[in-house]
Each structure stands twice: as C-alpha cells, then as structure tokens.
Chains A and B, each alone.
Chain A
C-alpha cells in the first residue's frame, strides 16, 4: 500500500525532475516544458475554485494581473525581481478578495458571467492604461528572474531556458502540494459539500460564502504567481496573450483532464499543451482541435482523461466477466 503510494506520487515527480536533462539540447522542447508548468498551475488552481461548483471564466485575467504587476513593479518602480514576483500573486489575491464578496454570492451562470466580464475588463485595463502597460505594444525587455546564488554551493543564472524549467517545476510542485493539502483536508471536503448542496451545507454551520471566497482567492493567487513567472520568463508582455481564450483554454484543460479528480487538471493541462504542439503544422486550426477533443471527452469520457484508467479497468472486468459467462 505504502510503496504503491510512493510510486504513484514520486515516480511522476522524478520523471519531471529528470525530463529537462534529456530535453536540454532542444530549446523548443524546454519551452514546451515550461509552458506545461504554467498551464498545470493555472488548470489546477482553476479546478480548486470549481470544487465549490463555480466555474470562473476569468482565470486568465488573474494571470494577467500577476504578469503586469510583476513586470511594472520591476521596470517602473525598481522592485527587486523576486519581490515583484511575489507581489504579482498578492495583487491578484487582493483583486480577488475585493470582488469576492459580491461575486461569490451569485450562482452558476451569473458567477460565470461576472468572472467572464472581469477577465475582459482586466485585459482592457492592460490595453488602455498605456502609461503603465504600454498599451497594445506591451512591455518589452522585462528583466529575467534574478540570479540565485548560495556562496560556495551553487549559482543559478536565469539567462537560459534550462534553469527556468526547474524554477517552474519547483513553483508548480509547491502550489500543487498546497492545493493537494486543501483537497485532502477538511477544507476540501467542505468545499465539495458546498458544490453538492449549499443549503444543507449552511444548515450544518458552513459559512458558504466565506469558503467560496477563500478558495477563489487561493486560486487567483496561484494564477497571479503563474503570471509573474510568465512575465519574467517571456520578457515580453502583450494584452493579447490574456484575451478570453486564455481563460477558456484553462477551463478546457480542466474539463478534458477531468475536474473531479485532483490529477485531472494536471493531466488535462499536460496533454492539451503537448498534443497541439505535435500538430503544430495546423496551428491556425487549434481552436478546432480543442473543440474536437472537448466533444470527444464530453461524450465518451465524462470523467475526463483522469477517469480513463478506471474506465478501462471496468471495461476489462466487464468483458472478462462476459467471457466467463459465455464459457459457463
């Protein structure tokens, strides 16, 4: 049992730790690895919000906040890079907290609409606040993450893609651990109970609005950090990156992976980042590929890709059972 668990959690982690070493020679592969990391953070944090039964359509907006905050603070206000990096998350959580009160009190479609427009408004601010954000030209030459050095031990210089791989891996693992603790603790259980029946949850003393607000803020904080990282990694920010599709793709990642399981968002983000890259020749048809995958999953794998192993196991059981009956 125990060794089984170690294998299930440690083996993938080890794989991802070793992977950049093998990809080292190819800058393009390293780039995809890094984008995977960002998308895993985004999808997992959005999934955390959806555990209460609410789907935020503005998650990309909070990534946008993190990215622009970190870039503007380093370039216009002389913040140290890591300070600004963290501020990206903090400003995202501050914005989330400021609007959490009204928006967590509305349900389903209304929540989706409000977050959708919120995401658009955030992007429009990035587009129109030209003094700060450079408007549609964006921000260029954002300084990379600062050199981390422990004298006598090691120095990490973020001038190439390779160290970025480990930074995003570390960040993603930290965030996943945090989200996993929430999921597996009392909190996760309470959040799921809210998704199932708000009235019943309230009747047993759950402050429904508070829990929704907390997890919304947590999710937005993670998205903000992912944005901060993106800004310093990419060194260029344009508002177009954070259009409505950025938010929708995150949702598609969660749905395709399977939002019911913690691993679902991770799997969805990885698969839907890597697979379209394989079909890079048809890049302009990417939305069609997404829609196609989405349709297939909704109809044939309602539990998402994460539910696939169970589905296969159940099928095998069914078939072998049928065979046993035929033989008898």
Chain B
C-alpha cells in the first residue's frame, strides 16, 4: 500500500532521514519507534507532503507521491494526526469533524453559494457522517463543546476524529497516546484496533512501549535518521542494537 524507496532528507548539512526503505501493507499497523530526534516525525512529514524529500520515492498504491502538496496527498487517501494537539480550537467538536468531512462530501463552490438542493442534501449528509465518526471515537456526548475546552486526552481523540473524517486509506498517527492516563490509553488502543478493523492501514509513532508492543503488527526502529531494526514486537524488543540506541553503548560492551 505504501512504500518508501531510498527516502532521504537533508536539513542543510544534517541528514535527518537517510535511505529509508519501508512498506506498509494493507490492513497493517506499523509502529515507528526511536529516541528523540531520530527522524520519526520528519518521516511522517515527508510521506504527507509537509516536507519535500531530498531524494528517494514515496509510493502510495503504486504511484509516486513524493513532492506532492499535503492537500493532494490527503485527497489520495493519506491522513495524519500531529504530535502537538492540532485541532480547530474555535470550532465545536462537531464542527471540527464536519470541516474535515469536506473531501468525503465533495461540495462545489457555486452550489454552496446558491444553496442548491444538491448542496443541502450533501450538507445534511456531512453532518450525519461527522456525527457517526464522533460516535465511533466516543466523543458524541461532547459534540457541542468548544474544542479548546476539551481535556487533553479528548483533544487527542478529536485530532484522530478529524483525520478519520478525511476518509483515509492510510492513517498516520504521531504519538497518539502521549500524555494519556491508563484508562484513556486502553480506550485509545481499542480505537486504533477498531480503525484497522474498518479496513484502514495505520502507521504510528509512539514512545509508550507498552502501547506500541501491544498494538503493532510490525515495528521499525529509527536512530539518527537510519533504520536500526525491524520486525515483530518480540523480535525488536530483544534486538541489542535497539537497546543500545535507547540506553547508549556502555564502556564494557564497547
């Protein structure tokens, strides 16, 4: 479904991402882990078009999307969440999701201006669609609250709802579980599995190892922009290179 070939990004003299080759197969949850500054978010930004790669390709469903604009990539079916809780703070929860449903709705400029019957129908459909997504996420009881007034955990969930509303085939989650309490975490893990069960593929960046090991099918470990290891959670857990990149290389070991 998604494949990167030799993906590379330089920031000036710094090689933030170095020759990354990874694949996400349909219906898979792929975890991306690594220490701070390993290039995980940069990788997401490259895939979703927020950054232009210095070299290499990003193939989505066989088509090279590297260098496309973010909105084009979203239209193709790749949505993402952000590490910082990016939501539309001045909208209500429902409005947040409705505005993200525009792709799904396919509303044109002039029909909106002239308030055609087609527009009104699509408009109603969109609100229903958004409400369904909120029900799925479990925020429907907060739908009329201003997004800025939500608790942190709920804002994270809303971010996920916004990305889902764009109706992606591949969903990129950037630290979706950060700062959640154990109860919120369990619900969020359940949700990620449910999203996958709905036929979407997921890539997720996370520092919470329990969550990553719990939910991911496969894991790719990055350090200094380079792939250190990959494989099933068990395999990665036992990999000495991975342990070293997190804990450093001891004198004795060296």
Contact = CB atoms under 8 A, between A and B. Distances in A.
Interface stretch (A31-39, A142-150, A189-197): A189-197
Interface in B59-78: 69-71, 74-75
A204 B99 CA distance: 9
Interface string A196-223: 1101101111111000001000000000
B166 A205 contact: yes
Nearest to B86: A200
A173 interface: no
Given A192-B91, A204-B166, A197 B99 contact: no
Contact of A182 (B75, B103, B113): B113
A196 B90 contact: yes
B contact patch SS: helix
A186 B107 contact: yes
Nearest to B77: A205
B74 A204 contact: yes
A204 B79 contact: yes
Q: Which of A186, A205, A208 has the most CB of B within 10 A?
A: A205
Given A181-B112, A185-B119, A196-B90, A203 B79 contact: yes
A187 interface: yes
Contacts of A181: 112-115
B163 A178 contact: no
B109 interface: yes
Contacts of B91: 189, 192-193, 196
Contacts of B165: 204
B71 A193 contact: no
Interface in B67-107: 69-71, 74-75, 79-80, 82, 86-91, 95, 98-100, 102-103, 105, 107
B129 interface: no
A188 B55 CA distance: 38
A56 to B, nearest CB: 21
Contacts of A202: 50, 69-71, 74
Interface residues on chain B, size class: 35 or more
A38 B75 CA distance: 41
Nearest to A202: B70
B123 interface: yes
Contact of A206 (B102, B109, B112): B102
B89 A205 contact: no
Given A189-B99, A193-B99, A203 B90 contact: no
A125 to B, nearest CB: 31
Contacts of B123: 185-186
B71 A178 contact: no
Nearest to A207: B71
B102 A186 contact: yes
A208 B71 contact: yes
A208 B72 CA distance: 11
Contacts of A207: 69, 71
29 contacts: A178-B113, A181-B112, A181-B113, A181-B115, A187-B109, A190-B99, A190-B102, A192-B91, A193-B88, A193-B91, A196-B88, A196-B89, A199-B82, A202-B50, A202-B74, A203-B74, A203-B80, A203-B163, A204-B74, A204-B79, A204-B99, A204-B103, A205-B71, A205-B74, A205-B103, A205-B166, A206-B71, A207-B69, A207-B71
Interface of B: 48, 50, 69-71, 74-75, 79-80, 82, 86-91, 95, 98-100, 102-103, 105, 107, 109, 112-115, 119, 123, 126, 162-163, 165-166
Closest 5 CB pairs of A and B: A205-B74, A185-B112, A202-B70, A204-B100, A204-B166
Interface of A: 178, 181-182, 185-187, 189-190, 192-193, 196-197, 199-200, 202-208, 214
Given A204-B79, A205-B74, 15 more contacts: A181-B115, A182-B112, A182-B113, A186-B102, A187-B112, A187-B113, A193-B88, A196-B89, A199-B86, A200-B82, A202-B71, A203-B163, A204-B103, A204-B163, A204-B165
